[in-house]
Structure formats: C-alpha cells, structure tokens
Structure 1
Amino acid sequence: MLPTPEQIESYIKQGIECTHIHVESDGQHFFATIVSPEFAGKRLVQRHQLVYGAMGDRMKTEVHALSIKAFTPEEYAKNSAA
C-alpha cells in the first residue's frame, strides 16, 4: 500500500530541514516541491540524494516514483515572484 502525501512529507521533514514542502500524488506517483537551506551550494543530483537519503529504504519498498523539485529558500522566493 502506498503512503499518503502527508506521510511522504513527514519522512522528508525528519531528514531535511524544510522551510516549505508540498507533496501531491496521482495514486501511483508522488510529486514533491521541497525548499531547504540545506540545498545551498549543492548541484541538483546532490539535492536529490539528500531527499532520497531522508526517504531511506522507503524508496525501495513503499515509493517507486518520486518527482522532486528542490529549491533553496532564495531560489524559491525568486521563482515565486516571477
């Protein structure tokens, strides 16, 4: 059984400091927008690795598809203003 978007948010928050997080699901796939100061100075792949690390083994057992948009607070503020 798939976890809920709220559970996914909780898993990520346990491993990453988030200033904003929103997770949606279409019933099979999850789509996460995550804003964290921990992403500063990191390339996209490193940001995704942080999220996968926070998810742990759940990425192998519970969640098979997770689309990630990972922003620093500054990037998110700039994109939100556009």
Structure 2
Amino acid sequence: MPMPADDIIALIKAGIPDAEIEMTDLAGDNDHWKAVITAESFRGRLRVAQHQMVYAALGDKMGGELHALALETRVPG
C-alpha cells in the first residue's frame, strides 16, 4: 500500500520538529518518493547521521509501507 506524502511529512516532523520538507513523487504512483529535508538540527552532523535521524523518525514504516525514498538533507543557509 503506498504511503501518502502527508503521512511521511508528519512522521519526519514528529521526529525532527524543525524540519522543512519538500516531497516529490518520482514515479507518479505515491510509492516512490524523494524528500529534501532542511533542518538546523542537522548542522554539524555527517550526512550519514542526518539520514539516520530521518530513518529513526520514519521508524518501522521504512522498508514496509515506505520502501522507496530518496533522501537529500541540508542545513539552512
């Protein structure tokens, strides 16, 4: 079952409250997403640590309901 963008955004915002999130449906099927996430809380962290923060926020949805998510993380500039 595809996961809507609003659900993905809600999960990420719950785990990373300062996140600004842009979602792109890569295949037009509500199932293959790209998320560009900008958060001050990423500052000073390696990219892998930033991605781990996002995966932690998504919890068990990643790899289940949500199986295709391309991530781009940024700090505000």
Q: 1:3-82 alignment to 2 at 5 Å? A: 3-25=3-25, 26=27, 27=29, 28-74=31-77
Counterpart contact for 1:37–1:73, Cα < 8 Å? yes
Q: Name the % identity.
A: 35
CA RMSD, aligned part only?
A: 1.2
Unmatched 5+ stretches in structure 1: 75-82
Residues 51, 19 of structure 1: CA spacing in aligned structure 2 closer, same or farther, 3 A cutoff?
Answer: closer
Please give the TM-score of this superposition, normalised by the length of structure 2. 0.87
Please give the TM-score of this superposition, normalised by the length of structure 1. 0.82
Bigger Rg, which one: 1
- The count of aligned residue pairs is 74
SS at match of 1:57: helix
Moved beyond 4 Å, runs of 4+? none
